[in-house]
Structure 1
Amino acid sequence: MDETDRDILRCLRENARTPVAAIAKRLDLARSTVQSRLERLESSGAIEGYTVRVSSAVRARPIRASALLEIEPRKLVAVMARLRQIDSIESVHTTSGRIDLLVTIAARTTEELDKALDTIGEIDGVTDSESLIHLTTKLDRR
């Protein structure tokens, strides 16, 4: 992947529906060049798909939070099995440092969020947790 590929990806991150001709014009490239690079990025897996970002005002689960979890040694597999069962969990990331997992939660109400956080805290193997409720998104480059 070179700088031209990264420029094409930046254009698509801003708006995945940008026509190939518009990307070509913006980057001062031939339309066929952009098209062939897009096809290569798709076939190589660099582009996994195109999606729609829904505004927080119309999301089914508009309340977001992150939970920072510390896990007992050798309990990660069991903890992950339980986390997979919680419908309001959107993603789980391993991290470096003091925290073992970063869990993203989406809920319809604060009560639903509270229940999810309680459920997470009760999982055998979770030794400590800290929750951070997302207030306003200032930047989102997804």
Structure 2
Amino acid sequence: MITEQDQKLLSLLRTNARASISDLARALNLSRSTVQNRISRLEQTGVIKGYVLQYGNEFLNEQVSAHVSIKVKQKLTTKTNVELKQMSQISALYAISGEHDLIAVVQAQSLEQLSKILDDIGNLDGVERTNSSVILETKFNR
């Protein structure tokens, strides 16, 4: 069970996973050993799986991102998922309900590279059709 203090700790770590134990303890008004024990417990119970790299705004502003809805032939779903996972420009893949089966989040260095990636996705065995929405601006991201 996650306590209110655990929620606050997770929120601080989500903002800055590299924050020192001392800074976290100060922000939570707890001892360093208590914070370290909470983090260890959250890691051991699987609440915290790991820590990830977050790109800076300057780098992200140079990227072109898109959500790509993908309709897949049912018999080739597993094969298609594996092939999509191999594409390093796809940062996330979600199974969805509705007309399409999947949504991929694609990140590229340019519109030309995005176009090539979209062609690569569309040419995968098992992909029936795609529909792309280029992300123009990120209002917020948590």
Scaled to the shorter chain, the TM-score interval is 0.7 to 0.9
- CA deviations on 1:2-52 (whole Å, 9 max, x unpaired) are 222111000111122222233223223333221110111122232222333
Tell me, which stretches of 5 or more residues in structure 1 are unaligned?
none
Counting aligned pairs with the same residue, the percent is: 34
Tell me what 1:15 maps to.
Answer: 16
> Structure 1 residues 94, 36: CA separation in 2 closer, same or farther (over 3 Å shift)?
same
Establish whether residue 45 from structure 1 lines up as the match of residue 46 from structure 2. yes
Tell me, which stretches of 5 or more residues in structure 2 are unaligned?
none
Tell me what 2:69 maps to.
Answer: 68
Establish whether residue 26 from structure 1 lines up as the match of residue 33 from structure 2. no
| Deviation of the 1:85 alpha carbon | 4.0
Alpha-carbon distance in 2 for matches of 1:57, 1:17? 20
Establish whether residue 133 from structure 1 lines up as the match of residue 139 from structure 2. no
Tell me what 2:58 maps to.
Answer: 57
> Structure 1 residues 120, 51: CA separation in 2 closer, same or farther (over 3 Å shift)?
closer
> Structure 1 residues 133, 36: CA separation in 2 closer, same or farther (over 3 Å shift)?
same
Q: Give the conservation status (yes or no) of the 8 Å contact 1:56–1:62.
A: no
More deviation, 47-56/95-104: 47-56
SS where residue 75 of structure 2 aligns? Answer: coil
- What letter is aligned with 2:121? I
TM-score under structure 2 normalisation?
0.84
**When the two structures are aligned, how many residues end up with a matched partner?**
140
- What letter is aligned with 2:101? D
CA RMSD of aligned residues (A): 2.0
SS where residue 74 of structure 2 aligns? Answer: coil
Alpha-carbon distance in 1 for matches of 2:6, 2:118? 40
Q: Note the 1:58-97 alignment, pairs <5 A.
A: 58=59, 62-97=63-98
Give the structure with the larger helix fraction: 2
| Deviation of the 1:114 alpha carbon | 0.3
